[in-house]
């Protein structure tokens, strides 16, 4: 097995291990419960609004577009919040730590190999989270909105749904990876302390998405001139462009979704590339001991320390310190 594959497996395993949990088995069980908690809302949204959309197509066509817009807003928001919640759940492993540099810095492995393995592990986590969270909803959504349209349209709806929700999730994942890397470079304690607020924020956001999904609102009363301020509408606009929607208000926002995703992904890549060499330098830097006694040059403590450092026992003399 190559060094890259070994490092990739090690970095990926870090997502499912933690020093703050009593055992890795308990952490894996926690991950399973988190995934179950995240998959259920998406299925509920797909079933609920899919049935309403089919009913509207046959009996109230004027409401069909509003329902479709509501569905996509919910799916984009759900994907971003769910993948963000997974990211903050494995917060400590999103970036390099000083411990990683201390272990890997002494090994005969190129730094580029270490960084690429870390990026591959992050990509694998994002891909697994995206597939688990959005594939069931994309299938149900494609069949729900296609009706009697031929199978090619169903495939198009499915692929557009997966691409748009994946880009929304990538944006949040990249933003959190950037934040974790920057905080880790500033202070390890600050990075560790930020985990709890982020986790609270994303759990609250998930509950808000669930409440909105089960609410009675079927359209979003947002003026057309204000949708450009809401990031979720950018990705809905990208979906509209991919499926050939005639609504130019939303299609015009698709470029913002693309550029936002590219910019956040580039920032995460930059921080990850910068984190390892800086952490490596910190790992090799000697640590100060401010609590230790001050020793003056030429004193007894200095001579003893230099003697021990040189590998010999300090010679005692009548005038030496006892």
* pLDDT digit string, tens, across residues 213-228: 665 445 555 655 666 7
Give the whole-number percent of the chain exceeding pLDDT 90: 14
Establish how many alpha carbons lie within 13 A of residue 223's alpha carbon, considering only the half-sphere containing its beta carbon.
2
- pLDDT value at residue 222: 60
Looking at per-residue confidence, does 290 or 71 come out higher? 71
In contact, 78 and 42? CB cutoff 8 Å: yes
> Which positions ≥6 away from 281 have C-beta within 8 Å?
none
State how far the Cα of 141 lies from the Cα of 133, in Å rounded to an integer: 13
- pLDDT value at residue 258: 93
Domain layout of the chain by residue ranges: 3-287, 294-322
Establish how many alpha carbons lie within 13 A of residue 220's alpha carbon, considering only the half-sphere containing its beta carbon.
18
Establish how many alpha carbons lie within 13 A of residue 5's alpha carbon, considering only the half-sphere containing its beta carbon.
2
DSSP H stretches of helix in the chain: 3-14, 24-59, 64-89, 98-104, 111-146, 151-186, 188-193, 195-214, 231-243, 248-251, 254-284, 300-309
Closest among 157, 161, 138 to 146, alpha carbons compared? 157
Q: Token match 């609250």: residue?
A: 204
Once rounded to an integer, what is the mean pLDDT over residues 295-321? 43
Sign, CA torsion 288/294/300/301: negative
- pLDDT value at residue 265: 94
In contact, 240 and 265? CB cutoff 8 Å: no
pLDDT tens profile 128-144: 889 988 888 888 888 77
- pLDDT value at residue 165: 93
The three-state secondary structure class of 222 is: coil
> Which positions ≥6 away from 141 have C-beta within 8 Å?
46, 50, 71, 75, 157, 158, 161
- pLDDT value at residue 163: 94
Residue 70 above 70 pLDDT?
yes
State how far the Cα of 155 lies from the Cα of 51, in Å rounded to an integer: 20
State how far the Cα of 30 lies from the Cα of 319, in Å rounded to an integer: 65
State how far the Cα of 176 lies from the Cα of 197, in Å rounded to an integer: 12
> Which positions ≥6 away from 108 have C-beta within 8 Å?
none
pLDDT band at 284 (very low <50, low <70, confident <90, very high): low
- pLDDT value at residue 71: 81
Sign, CA torsion 158/164/165/167: positive
- pLDDT value at residue 102: 74
> Which positions ≥6 away from 193 have C-beta within 8 Å?
none
Closest among 73, 67, 124, 116 to 96, alpha carbons compared? 116
In contact, 241 and 63? CB cutoff 8 Å: no
Residue 52 above 90 pLDDT?
no
């Amino acid at each position: 097995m190559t060094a890259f594959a070994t490092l990739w497996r090690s970095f990926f395993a870090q997502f499912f291990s933690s020093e703050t949990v009593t055992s890795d088995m308990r952490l894996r069980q926690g991950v399973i419960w988190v995934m179950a908690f995240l998959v259920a809302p998406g299925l509920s949204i797909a079933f609920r609004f899919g049935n309403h959309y089919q009913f509207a197509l046959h009996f109230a066509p004027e409401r069909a577009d509003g329902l479709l817009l509501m569905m996509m807003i919910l799916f984009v928001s759900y994907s971003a919040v769910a993948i963000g919640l997974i990211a903050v759940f494995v917060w400590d492993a999103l970036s390099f730590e000083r411990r990683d540099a201390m272990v890997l810095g002494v090994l005969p492995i190129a730094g580029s190999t270490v960084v690429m393995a870390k990026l591959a592990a992050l990509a694998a986590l994002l891909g697994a989270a995206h597939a688990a969270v959005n594939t069931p909803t994309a299938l149900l959504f494609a069949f729900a909105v296609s009706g009697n349209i031929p199978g090619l349209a169903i495939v198009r709806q499915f692929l557009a749904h997966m691409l748009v929700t994946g880009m929304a999730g990538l944006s949040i994942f990249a933003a959190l990876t950037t934040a974790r890397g920057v905080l880790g470079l500033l202070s390890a304690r600050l990075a560790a302390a930020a985990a709890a607020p982020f986790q609270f924020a994303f759990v609250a956001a998930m509950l808000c998405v669930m409440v909105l999904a089960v609410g009675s609102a079927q359209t979003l009363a947002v003026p057309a001139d204000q949708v450009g301020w809401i990031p979720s509408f950018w990705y809905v606009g990208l979906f509209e462009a991919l499926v050939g929607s005639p609504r130019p208000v939303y299609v015009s926002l698709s470029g913002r979704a693309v550029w936002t995703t590219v910019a956040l992904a580039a920032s995460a890549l930059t921080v990850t590339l910068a984190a390892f060499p800086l952490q490596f330098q910190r790992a090799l830097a000697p640590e100060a001991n401010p609590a230790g006694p001050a020793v003056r040059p030429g004193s007894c403590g200095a001579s003893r320390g230099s003697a021990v450092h040189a590998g010999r026992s300090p010679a005692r003399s009548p005038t030496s310190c006892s």
